[in-house]
Chain A
Amino acid sequence: MPISLHAYRDIAAPGRVELLYRLSRQTTGKRILHITADRAGGEIGEILHTLVPLLIDLGLDVRWETMKGSPSFHEAGRILRNGVQGEDVRISDALLDGYREAVQQTGRTLDLTADIVVTHDPHTLGLIDYAPTDSRWIWRCYLDVSRPQRKTWNFLRPYIVKYDGAVFSLPQFAQPLPVPQFLIYPSIDPLSEKNRELEPEEIDRILEKLHIGREKPILLQVSRFTRSKDLRGVIEAYRLIKTQYDCRLVLAGSASPDEPDEQAVLTDIREAAGKDEDIHIVPLPPESSVEINALQRAATIVVQKSKREGFGLSVAEAMWKGKPVIGSETGGITLQIMYGQTGYTANTVEGTAFYARYLLNNPAIAQEMGRRARERARQNFLITRHLEDYLSLIILMGRA
């Protein structure tokens, strides 16, 4: 069934959907072209799979195209992506040639006719060299490029400065650039498998399948199994909480058997967990959205103790499910959590344990924080707000 904005009328803030319908009268018929490296999932895919149909529903003429790339193009894109985020990468001239060839092939064969073209992340940047003169080009960057590897940045920057504007997810993710830089937070889709409402029986069934009992409060962290997520730190915090409150800890997230680093982290945290039967380490396949949804809904408190984080949309997911979140002060976590209102930010294992104990000891306060968290997510982190930002950007670019 096609996605319609009408379906969000009872979910978004009162009056918001009506406002979006009226706003879209200023953008009717505008031709918008999104270009990504591929149609794979991840943050970009998840957002565009909802955003594009909603823009079409509002009367815009929207296309979503992908790069025509060889394996060497995708490898070059992966390295550029890591380099632009500060990793010390090495990229051969042959790979850079592969990148330029793919850009050239796509630029010459893809119909780039549109009023506004939005290219996503570094893979697609080079297409600006094939821009028709009568269109406006925006680079949408989801990454933290505040401390890029200089060589990678020097390769990409000449492309970026040719754009009419760039969009970042947080001010601290951006770079000094001579083009307008807009701020648009990413978003979650409240109707997706990961966020839709679940019946209590469905939650029970999924937790039973994962062998997680519900007779004790559940502390949950949803994240990939990487060192930057500080999973050992979460276990240490849980042990401090456990001295006073009987609870479970669930560490869940997608894990790839092909990623040696993730497997090493899994081994490490299994060792840290030892024989504690209340610690559940739950590596899930990538298509486990409904399982993540059920775990977040079953949790008493959600933790996001990352050492380094992008925007950290799993915080918004938990907030939408009415959970207080205790997160570390990094990336977009600080922006999403309102300290003392929807949860807490903490800098240490001890701080995480302190706030978790406080919330476990004060369930009414935890519940009220969860209610506020859901309202904050409703106003700021749902796809309807994202749609509003995109329509605004299209209107503004049209005026410029």
Chain B
Amino acid sequence: MNPHPSLTPFQFVGCVELREMLGRKAADLQQLMEGIEEVPADSIYYHTHSYFLRYEYGPTLFPNDFATWVAVSVRDRVLSERLGLIDPFEFRDVEALRAQIVSTIDDHLQSLWNVPRVMHGDPFEFVSSHIIEVDLELSAKSLEEFRDHLATVDRSVLFNHICEAKIRKGRHSGDFILWIGSESGLNLPDLAAQVAAIQPMGLTLEGIRARTLEVLDRYIARPILA
């Protein structure tokens, strides 16, 4: 008998991303702030989340494109550090995240006499992304099966069930945690809480995968009390 069966199976869905250039550029911090205020939410999402899909290991600088450009091209270390600390997973939606980024830049500009502009490299280019879901036709009917599939699926599955679910689809805890904790899923709220404690900020998708597998393995291996 399977020790951790689920009422409904978990469906693994990956995704691909196509980038679209919006034709809007920023050459100084004022233009950057105005751009962030006006571009579609998909563009804010792209510049704050898609680095997960682009980088296989820890990013060299900050985990969002705005902070990185401010550090590398404008060379304003103070603002880049403040922008770099903004954790997109703390916000309920992209609009709340956008407001925080704009406030951070605005507060910084208020404290300066002039507007810092690009010193090195290219202007900031606003890009948006189209995410296309890919049903892998792979499902898990138990915790053990879920663990085994999670270990081998394309990393875009993690992006889809964590970033897409949380930010664009309004499933704030993410699909993995939702399924593990819900009565219609595995109904293991204590395990769901352990997975929820993994902070994505500062990790790559592979890092998130490894941490999640550690938690699942520990749970599966624990002695079951009679």
Chain A residues with CB under 8 Å of chain B are 13-16, 18-19, 22-23, 26, 168, 171-172, 174, 176-177, 180-184, 329, 334, 338-341, 372, 375-376, 378-380, 388-389, 391-393, 395-396
Which of B1-9, B18-26, B86-94, B194-202 contacts the other chain? B18-26
Q: Is B121 interfacial (CB 8 A cutoff)?
A: yes
Q: How many A-B residue pairs have CB under 8 A?
A: 84
> Knowing A14-B154, A334-B121, A396-B130 touch, does A22 contact B136 (C-beta < 8 A)?
yes
Q: Is the CB of B23 within 8 A of A177?
A: yes
Q: Which residues of A contact B57 (CB under 8 A)?
A: 341, 372, 375
Chain B residues with CB under 8 Å of chain A are 14, 16-21, 23, 54-57, 60, 120-122, 125, 127, 130, 132, 134-137, 152-157
Contact among A15, A341, A392 for B153, CB-based, below 8 A: A15
22 intermolecular pairs with C-beta atoms under 8 Å apart: A14-B152, A14-B154, A15-B14, A15-B155, A19-B154, A22-B134, A171-B127, A176-B23, A183-B20, A183-B127, A184-B18, A338-B60, A340-B60, A341-B57, A341-B60, A372-B56, A376-B56, A380-B54, A389-B16, A392-B18, A395-B132, A396-B132
- Chain A nearest CB, measured from B137 CB (Å): 7
Closest 3 CB pairs of A and B: A15-B154, A171-B125, A392-B18
Q: Which residues of A contact B153 (CB under 8 A)?
A: 15
Q: Which residues of A contact B17 (CB under 8 A)?
A: 392
Q: Is the CB of B121 within 8 A of A329?
A: yes
Q: Is the CB of B18 within 8 A of A375?
A: no
Alpha-carbon distance A389/B20, docked complex (angstroms): 11
Q: Which residues of A contact B21 (CB under 8 A)?
A: 168, 171, 174, 181-183
Q: Is the CB of B20 within 8 A of A19?
A: no
Given contacts A184-B18, A379-B56, list 4 more A-B pairs with CB under 8 A. A23-B132, A172-B125, A329-B120, A395-B132
> Knowing A174-B21, A396-B132 touch, does A16 contact B154 (C-beta < 8 A)?
yes
Contact among B16, B137, B155 for A13, CB-based, below 8 A: B155
